[in-house]
Amino acid sequence: MTHRSDQRPSRRDLLRTLGAAPLAASALQAAPTARAQTSSSQARIVIAGSGLGGIAVASRLRQLVPGAKITIVDAKQEHNYQPGYTLVATGIWPIEKVKNRNAEFQPEGVEWVQEMVASFDPASNSLTTTGGRKIGYDFLVVATGLQLGYDQIEGMDVKAIGSNGLGSVYASPEAALATWQAMDAFRAKGGQAVMTLPAGPLKCAGAPLKMTFMVADRLRQAGTLDKSKVDFFSGLPDDTVFGVKPVNDNVLARWKALGIQTHYLRKLVAIDPGARKAFFTSPEGERQEVGYDFLHVVPPMRAPDAVKGSDLAAKEGPMAAGGWLEVSKDTLQHKRYPNVFGVGDINGTPRGKTAATVKKSAPLVAHNLVRVIDGQPPDQIFDGYTSCPMIVREGSAMLIEFDYDGKLTPSLPMIEPLQESFMAWFMKYRLLKPAYIAVLKGRV
């Protein structure tokens, strides 16, 4: 199957992009300006999780604390480039581009315990693996990622993704590919697309929006948009699909122009894949049945059980319900256990469940941890940096960067954050994975 846009970039776009690409790549992979502290300590450092955050911090700590005993705990054998899932799920990338062997990225000189964490006991500075192994530590970095709550949606079966018009980009590379297969079949005939967004913290909160833009674009390319309907059901309050207002308003204006209808305060509670029906509830308990030809499910998300059931989880406030790691949003140090830090999706911070957040925060976590190892307070502050390459159609995207306060923080002079461009698309398509690999290896 081929999936080429009929709105190809012009020669001027290509020349401008090729000229700007080295500058953009340099900016994406530039070393942090803040100094990194080193230590001669022989501390035992355990890192729970071997995704981007865990490996990035391990790579940095190997350099900063060469005498330390560093252990990564994670059974995962495959390393997935999750920012590429939307490209697979919309027919742009092959599945192979988001799959690597986890062993390829393990830092030299770091022990890898190939088991999952079953429980944490921060009071005794230890964790227990699923194989029953108890591992003690002097310092802990929690990088477990999060848990997808598909089980909270009655009738949802991850194995059914790809059949009967059911899609969901988040579950795995295979689910992303199956989502594209469902979308491809749907666009050929057109019909009713139902796109969803739950309330609560999400990894890559822009993904449901990108999928919605691309459903409309694929229908347009197939010539079936005019006989189709795309509806977006948001679990958020009225006129809200994204937590940064300028971006939110821009997206809604674009959707209005495309004829995409939005519905608010609607929680997806059940699906009937065989009948192709989705069921939503309102805050008042009103139940709504919606038929579909294509459905994109975005599950609610929470901390993994090992964190949620431990004393590391937030006990009160907005992060308590999801069991998120109770860290300072500024230093990413645990609020009650000063020898514990968090990195990545697990953190109970106002924003920041993206790879770009890890790119900026992993060096900070490594530096602040080294300070604590040497008996000093953390002295680097994280601003909540998040980046979202918002695909609006094949060949065009907006590169949106913002901080904890929802303030736009563009870093590349050639890209305006709320203007779509081929350059932003090119970065998403070609430049961001090499930058991701550089983060894994501790180069940025």
pLDDT digits (tens, 9 = 90+) for 390-412: 999 999 999 999 999 999 999 88
- The whole-number pLDDT of residue 34 equals 52
Quote the pLDDT of residue 33: 42
Kindly state the average pLDDT of the residues 288-299: 98
Please say if the pLDDT value at position 21 is more than 80. Answer: no
pLDDT grade, residue 319 (50/70/90)?
Answer: very high
When pLDDT is averaged across residues 109-123 and rounded to a whole number, the result is: 98
Is the distance from CB of 183 to CB of 215 less than 8 angstroms? yes
| Least trusted range by pLDDT, from 241-255, 345-359, 367-381, 401-415 | 401-415
Model pLDDT, residue 414: 78
Query: Average pLDDT of 275-296?
Result: 97
Distance CA 278, CA 295 (A): 8
* Average pLDDT of the segment spanning 336-348: 98
One DSSP character per residue, 103-161 reads GGGPPTT-EEE-S-EEEEEGGGTEEEETTS-EEE-SEEEE----EE-GGGSBT--GGGT
Stated pTM of the model: 0.93
61 versus 417: which is more confidently predicted? 61
**C-alpha–C-alpha distance, residues 231 and 94, integer Å:** 27
Q: What are phi and psi of 139, to 5 degrees?
A: -140, 145
Residue 413 — very low, low, confident or very high, per pLDDT cuts 50/70/90? confident
Residue 26 has pLDDT above 80, yes or no: no
What does the pLDDT average to over 77-106?
98
Tell me the mean pLDDT in the region 22-37.
Answer: 52
Joined tokens for residue 29: 């992979």
pLDDT band at 444 (very low <50, low <70, confident <90, very high): confident
Distance CA 386, CA 330 (A): 14
Q: Element (H or E) spanning 95, and its range?
A: none
Q: What is the mean pLDDT of residues 122-126?
A: 98
Task: State the pLDDT at residue 8.
Answer: 47
At 194-238, the pLDDT tens digits run 999 999 999 999 999 999 999 999 999 999 999 999 999 999 999
Q: What is the pLDDT of residue 260?
A: 98
Percent of the chain exceeding pLDDT 70 equals 92
Q: How far is residue 365's CA from residue 342's CA, in Å, rounded to a whole number?
A: 8
**Which residue in this structure is represented by tokens 């865990």?**
54
CB-facing half-sphere around the CA of 173: CA atoms within 13 A? 14
Q: Give dist(CA 243, CA 9) in Å, integer.
A: 31
Please tell me the predicted confidence (pLDDT) of residue 191.
98
| pLDDT of the residue at 20 | 46
Taking all residues of the chain, what is their mean pLDDT, rounded to a whole number? 93
Q: What share of the chain is helix, strand, coil (3-state, %, to 5)?
A: 35, 25, 45
Give the model confidence (pLDDT) of 419-436 as tens digits. Answer: 999 999 999 999 999 999
* pLDDT per position as a tens digit, 41-53: 999 999 999 999 9
- pLDDT of 35 reads 66
Q: Are the C-beta atoms of 69 and 93 separated by less than 8 Å? A: no
